[in-house]
Amino acid sequence: MATMRAVRLHLPTRTLSVEEVERPVPGPGQVLVKVEAAGVCLSDVHLIEGSLTPLHLPGESVTLGHEVAGTVAELGAESGRWQVGDRVVLQAGEKRDGITWTRGVDYDGGWAEYALARVDTLFALPDSIPFEQGSIIPDAVSTPWGAVTTTGGVRPAEPVGVWGVGGLGAHGVQLLRAIGAHPIVAVDPAPAARERALAFGADLALDSADPELAAKIGAATGGAGLAAAFDFAGVPAVREQAVKVLGAHGRLVLVGLTDQPLTLTDSIRFSYLQQQILGHYGSEEEAVPQLIALAAGGRLDFSRSVSEVLPLERAAEAVERLHSKQGNPIRLILKP
């Protein structure tokens, strides 16, 4: 039996360990991918802490990692156009009986030497995009892309707000800039995240603790308020703060995940202004190939997005560094 190293989360105890496990064999319609890079997301932190629990996982443990890039190592039957050695990016989830299963949550992910992938969840990664940058396209870039373009429906020249300028939010700012939103107001308690927001294209970056925040957003939008606000933090207080600075027909899009209640203090104002709160998860299937094409075509640049590359054995350290914001990472990448 061939084996491989994998970072496994045991759900009943929420313990993380690097284990030697059986190397999977691709079945019909699957390939085995040799993992070259896998991103670390705050959702992994939520899974380890216990605020996020897999909905569909059949067993008690799972290999984490939903942001994965690598090379095709082995072909199952009916593996279509794929060849051994092809550079690929893996979709962060797949539909099973019409339900979304998330990679590295509901089935084994890519914090491992190898990962199985259904052929319809693979996308070719051009040589011009390094594996580390390619790995974060599914999720760290595709989720804000879906939130901004589909759920939020942002149109050019609309004033927008981004709460949380970490892995998702930094790309949210970059993507809003690319589609012509204006002004882009970023909100984050961390000074380094606010600096990053300005570097990624925000017009204004505010501290979430700033008592003048509402007045400053009012001034930046000519009194109109925001057309769309995005929670990329997963912090309950963000929702209340963002709703207060939405304008008429404004949309608040909830991307960040929290197990805390959603509260709306001034619901009369909310109804009177006909505002909306929209849940968002993942992205449409075409998001990843669209973003690969935009990066390959020079329209988007993810070279600033990879903060550090760490070996698989340092997964727990990477998780802790993302949690504590040590070194203010955008994305930490694991390399088996």
Ligand X SMILES: NC(=O)c1ccc[n+]([C@@H]2O[C@H](COP(=O)([O-])OP(=O)(O)OC[C@H]3O[C@@H](n4cnc5c(N)ncnc54)[C@H](O)[C@@H]3O)[C@@H](O)[C@H]2O)c1
Q: What are the residues binding ligand X (CB under 6 A)?
A: 41-43, 46, 139, 143, 163-169, 187-190, 193, 208, 232-235, 237-238, 255-257, 280-282, 322
For the CB of residue 86, give the shortest distance to ligand X in the complex, in Å: 26
Q: Which is nearer to ligand X, 88 or 213 (CB)?
A: 213
Name the residue among 171, 172, 210, 203 with its Cα closest to residue 188. Answer: 210
Q: Which is nearer to ligand X, 96 or 126 (CB)?
A: 96
Q: Helix, strand or coil for residue 9?
A: strand
Q: Which is nearer to ligand X, 88 or 322 (CB)?
A: 322
For residue 89, with 0-12 CB atoms within 10 Å meaning exposed, 13-18 middle and 19 or more buried, which class applies? buried
Cβ pair 81, 129 in contact under 8 A: no
For the CB of residue 208, give the shortest distance to ligand X in the complex, in Å: 4
> HSE (CB half, 13 Å, CA atoms) of 146?
20
Q: Which is nearer to ligand X, 73 or 253 (CB)?
A: 253
Name the residue among 134, 107, 115, 148 with its Cα closest to residue 39. Answer: 134
For the CB of residue 217, give the shortest distance to ligand X in the complex, in Å: 13
Q: Which is nearer to ligand X, 72 or 206 (CB)?
A: 206
257-260 long-range contacts, CB within 8 A, separation 24+: 257/43, 257/46, 257/51, 257/52, 258/51, 258/234, 259/51, 259/52, 260/236
For the CB of residue 210, give the shortest distance to ligand X in the complex, in Å: 11
Q: Helix, strand or coil for residue 19?
A: strand
In the complex, residue closest to ligand X by CB: 166
Residue 238 to residue 283: CA distance in whole angstroms = 22
Q: Which is nearer to ligand X, 49 or 78 (CB)?
A: 49
For the CB of residue 128, give the shortest distance to ligand X in the complex, in Å: 25
Q: Which is nearer to ligand X, 75 or 257 (CB)?
A: 257
- How many CB atoms sit inside 10 A of residue 224's CB? 15
For the CB of residue 330, give the shortest distance to ligand X in the complex, in Å: 7
Q: Which is nearer to ligand X, 63 or 305 (CB)?
A: 305
For the CB of residue 79, give the shortest distance to ligand X in the complex, in Å: 28
| Encoded tokens for 238 | 């963000």
For the CB of residue 50, give the shortest distance to ligand X in the complex, in Å: 13
| Encoded tokens for 153 | 């429906």
Q: In the chain, where does DSSP find H-type helix?
A: 42-49, 131-135, 142-146, 167-178, 191-199, 213-220, 236-244, 267-272, 287-296, 315-324
Residue 319 to residue 317: CA distance in whole angstroms = 5
